[in-house]
């Protein structure tokens, strides 16, 4: 069914809202975590366990939403949820290990490599192709972010394996978010409310041991203060919006677009770090950020251009039907008199 005029007017606003929510909440959570985890802040060095707190808080919000009827719950097979949660948790742990074992420069390079990996996986799994303009825009973004973030690059075998695992699992997880939403016709928040409890339980059980391997300390040895508790609660609240907006963005657009958005957040974090924390800002940083922003503008234009080309290839509208349309068609067939069908006549209901 075609969208009404009002829906067409509202959809760009809601799309911008989803992007804005993700950028603001992601940058906010990075700033809150920097204060919580840095040695100059509260020194809470338990990143994996903190992620478990994030998903526990998100799961709680989902349970309240379902209980009050604000969101509906659709069936998704348990094995799909377990598989997704395993991939997502491997992504979190591998990212943390990659950051610990590699230099910051190589860690940033591994993050930049996610865009081409996502593109390749979408081509393999969903036969998705990208036009030359989109590929060129992605390269501009990657080069720009690389210029302003990559410094020293040191590689070792363990770090390289962890980086490869992190890149592959993160890319697969982000693609799975979109494919699960389409496959089972579930909304972004519905899917998140189903996966968050599984991730929360597993991360809260195994997270402290992962953090011990990373920092050499158990969370039980940490002395909580009111300031640390406030930062943890703030981080958890921001994580709810960050998680919801991530599922929203990937569900509406694509994992590739979400990766491009992620580099916009990198530019915002570097800028805020310079404004709020007196971080060094060199000409190299400014040039790289400017190039990245130009690449993002080109990417937005290229995606619109690709949509216009696809629309011209299918001028008579869509050829696939939704589940709702199929059900309506079935109901219509059941009410048709078989004699009239055989005679080629139509009957008014």
165 has a pLDDT exceeding 50: yes
Task: Between 4 and 194, name the one with better pLDDT.
Answer: 194
The closest alpha carbon to 301, from 254, 257, 235, belongs to 257
49 has a pLDDT exceeding 50: yes
For residues 192 and 250, is the Cβ–Cβ distance under 8 A? no
Burial (CB count <10 Å: 0-12, 13-18, 19+), residue 344: exposed
Q: What is the pLDDT of residues 258-273, one digit of tens each?
A: 777 766 766 776 777 6
187 has a pLDDT exceeding 50: yes
Residue spans per domain, the chain: 16-129+154-253
The closest alpha carbon to 310, from 129, 127, 116, 120, belongs to 129
For residues 102 and 110, is the Cβ–Cβ distance under 8 A? yes
Task: Between 236 and 24, name the one with better pLDDT.
Answer: 236
The closest alpha carbon to 169, from 95, 116, 263, belongs to 95
Tell me the C-alpha to C-alpha distance, in Å, between residue 295 and each of 54, 142, 232, 265, 317: 32, 8, 35, 14, 31
Distance separating alpha carbons of residues 79 and 247, to the nearest angstrom: 19
In this prediction, residue 151 has a pLDDT band, given cuts at 50, 70 and 90, of low
Task: Between 144 and 124, name the one with better pLDDT.
Answer: 124
Distance separating alpha carbons of residues 309 and 284, to the nearest angstrom: 37
pLDDT above 90 as % of the chain: 19
Burial (CB count <10 Å: 0-12, 13-18, 19+), residue 143: middle
Burial (CB count <10 Å: 0-12, 13-18, 19+), residue 348: exposed
In this prediction, residue 8 has a pLDDT band, given cuts at 50, 70 and 90, of very low
Burial (CB count <10 Å: 0-12, 13-18, 19+), residue 284: exposed
In this prediction, residue 27 has a pLDDT band, given cuts at 50, 70 and 90, of confident
Distance separating alpha carbons of residues 204 and 186, to the nearest angstrom: 26
Give pairs for 264-267: CB < 8 Å, separation 24+.
264/23, 264/292, 264/293, 264/296, 265/22, 265/23, 265/26, 265/27, 265/30, 266/145, 266/149, 266/292, 267/145, 267/148, 267/292, 267/293
For residues 106 and 154, is the Cβ–Cβ distance under 8 A? yes
Distance separating alpha carbons of residues 100 and 105, to the nearest angstrom: 12
For residues 287 and 145, is the Cβ–Cβ distance under 8 A? no
Reduced to 3 states, what is the DSSP secondary structure of residue 75? Answer: coil
- Say what the pLDDT of residue 314 is: 58
For residues 62 and 193, is the Cβ–Cβ distance under 8 A? yes
pTM flag (> 0.75): no
Q: Dihedral (C-alpha) 237, 242, 243, 247: value to the nearest 10 degrees? A: 150
Provide CB contacts within 8 A for 137, sequence distance 6+. Answer: 260, 295, 296, 298, 299, 301, 302
The closest alpha carbon to 168, from 116, 106, 102, belongs to 116
φ, ψ at 133 (rounded to 5°): -65, -40
Task: Between 301 and 216, name the one with better pLDDT.
Answer: 216
Which of 28-32, 75-79, 253-257 ranks highest by mean pLDDT? 75-79
């Amino acid at each position: 069914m075609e969208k009404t005029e009002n829906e067409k007017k509202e959809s760009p606003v809601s799309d911008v809202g989803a992007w804005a929510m993700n950028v603001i909440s992601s940058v906010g959570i990075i700033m809150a975590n920097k204060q919580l985890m840095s040695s100059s802040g509260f020194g809470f060095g338990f990143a994996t366990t903190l992620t478990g707190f994030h998903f526990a808080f998100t799961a709680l919000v989902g349970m309240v939403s379902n209980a009050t009827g604000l969101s509906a719950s659709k069936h998704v097979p348990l094995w799909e949820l377990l598989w997704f949660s395993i991939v997502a948790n491997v992504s979190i742990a591998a990212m943390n290990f990659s950051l610990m074992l590699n230099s910051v420069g190589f860690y940033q390079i591994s993050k930049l490599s996610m865009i081409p990996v996502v593109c390749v996986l979408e081509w393999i799994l969903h036969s998705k192709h990208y036009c030359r303009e989109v590929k060129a825009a992605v390269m501009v973004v990657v080069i720009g972010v690389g210029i302003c973030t990559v410094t020293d690059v040191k590689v070792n075998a363990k770090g390289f394996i962890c980086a490869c695992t992190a890149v592959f699992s993160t890319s697969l997880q982000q693609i799975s978010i979109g494919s699960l939403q389409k496959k089972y016709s579930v909304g972004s928040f519905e899917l998140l409310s189903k996966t968050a409890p599984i991730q929360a339980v597993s991360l809260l059980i195994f997270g402290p041991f992962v953090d011990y391997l990373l920092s050499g300390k158990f969370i039980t040895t940490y002395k909580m203060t009111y300031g640390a508790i406030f930062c943890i609660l703030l981080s958890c609240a921001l994580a709810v919006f960050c998680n919801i907006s991530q599922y929203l963005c990937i569900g509406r657009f694509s994992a590739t677009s979400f990766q491009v958005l992620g580099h916009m957040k990198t530019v915002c974090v570097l800028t805020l770090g310079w404004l709020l924390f007196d971080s060094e800002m060199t000409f190299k940083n400014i040039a790289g950020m400017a190039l990245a922003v130009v690449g993002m503008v080109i990417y937005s234009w290229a995606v619109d251009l690709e949509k216009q080309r696809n629309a011209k290839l299918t001028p008579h509208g869509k050829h696939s039907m939704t589940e709702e349309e199929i059900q309506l068609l079935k109901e219509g067939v059941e009410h048709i008199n078989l004699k009239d069908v055989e005679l080629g006549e139509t009957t008014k209901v």
